[in-house]
Homo-oligomer: A and B are copies of this chain.
């Protein structure tokens, strides 16, 4: 049976209950997340076989993180351990016009120690058919970049599909590499591009608008420059405020442009990980459906994620398919 592999940092998320601020709290809820592991867990919840590779602290916090992945059935045998602490992020959840705030403690985390010598890619990619990575990993540290590249080179050799969510965040790139060049280097090993106008403009030094016409043209130019890329998928979020968003998606698969209807998320429960749910939905969908249905599945999965607390998309395939079939009125499941 085929298996998907993800690679990236696992973070502990710490946030006060409800919409409280740290200054008015003495209790926090914790979850584990990180963009790639969120994708892994979501695919596991769809019934897929997934393996996550990371470097995790060798203490009771790290043990807890690993048991968290195991709980969802994500394979953890390739995870290495470090005596540095696990990365942490602190979250204050906003509402209405108040944005959520995040503060990171990750620059010297266990993952920041990752080095190519620590991952046995040959063993890790055995029986795998899909590799998913994001732009966060090469942004974090040089070891992340080189380790990832080694994995991608092997993945390409072995003919794995490789999806990339470039997620460009300029604040992260601090160790001396140029983001555009580094991302470009890695995208050359990838086949599915999960990103929008902003990421393409960043990579191509272009100035495309958000129009569908520009998205198509941008996608064509991207594929032209990175010929391993075959398809681009874009998730479009229309925020009314921090508590109410609309989500839709569009794609250019080299042949046709398609776009979904807006899904109206009137009462957001938790916005973290909704992009990762989209990526996971897409990875699952592209293995089971045609491109358009895969994108619909991804958009529905992303919308559903807004209804779960924490970073994880708990929805299974049936629950996502229900949304696709238009059952969005939330009637009881008995």
Contacts and interface: CB of A to CB of B under 8 A. Distances in A.
A60 B106 CA distance: 16
Contacts of A158: none
Interface string A319-334: 1001100011111111
A331 B67 contact: no
Given A61-B103, A328-B241, A95 B307 contact: yes
Nearest to A239: B329
A69 to B, nearest CB: 9
Given A22-B61, A84-B107, 12 more contacts: A21-B60, A23-B60, A24-B314, A60-B103, A96-B306, A97-B265, A97-B328, A100-B332, A101-B334, A102-B334, A239-B329, A240-B266
Contact of A263 (B90, B97, B309, B315): B97
Copies of this protein in the assembly total: 6
Contacts of A26: 24-26, 29-31
Interface of A: 14, 18-31, 57, 59-61, 63-64, 67-68, 70-73, 84-86, 88, 90, 92, 94-105, 107-108, 169, 171, 239-244, 263-269, 271, 303-304, 306-310, 312, 314-315, 319, 322-323, 327-334
A263 B20 CA distance: 22
A271 B333 CA distance: 13
Candidate in A14, A68, A105, A108 with the most chain B CB atoms within 10 angstroms = A105
B97 A85 contact: no
Nearest to A238: B329
